[in-house]
Amino acid sequence: MKNPKIKFFPISGSGVLHIDFMPGPFGDAVEAIEGDGVGFFSSSGELLGVTFDDVLENEDKQKLIFPSYKIDVVVKRGKPSFKLTPLKEPSLSTERKKKKTA
């Protein structure tokens, strides 16, 4: 995920914001579990890119959550930035303990 590129297309105060983590092509879009947007993943589950559906042009804060990643985007004075957080998968030993106690 070197040199991600942010593409922001506001029209009349808001618009689509796309972040490329890898060069395309991307394939099918996957809806976010939380937030308004989609993600694009490799066959091994690596995040290739995300698209936020509607981001305010001057100031906004949004997030997209997928099973393995959380992406926060912030727009301040018209300049977008983001933070990508990998989410930890539950370990097999944790799941076994939960099943035994349930």
Radius of gyration from C-alpha coordinates of the chain: 16
Task: Determine contact, residues 57/36, Cβ cutoff 8 Å.
Answer: no
pLDDT band at 82 (very low <50, low <70, confident <90, very high): very high
pLDDT over 80 at 96, yes or no? no
* % pLDDT > 90, the chain: 68
Give the separation between CA 55 and CA 62, rounded to whole angstroms.
Answer: 8
Domain boundaries, the chain: 5-101
* pTM, two decimal places: 0.80
Point out which residues pair with 71 in neighbouring strands.
64, 84
pLDDT of residue 90 exceeding 90 = no
Three-point CA angle 39, 11, 16, nearest 5°: 5
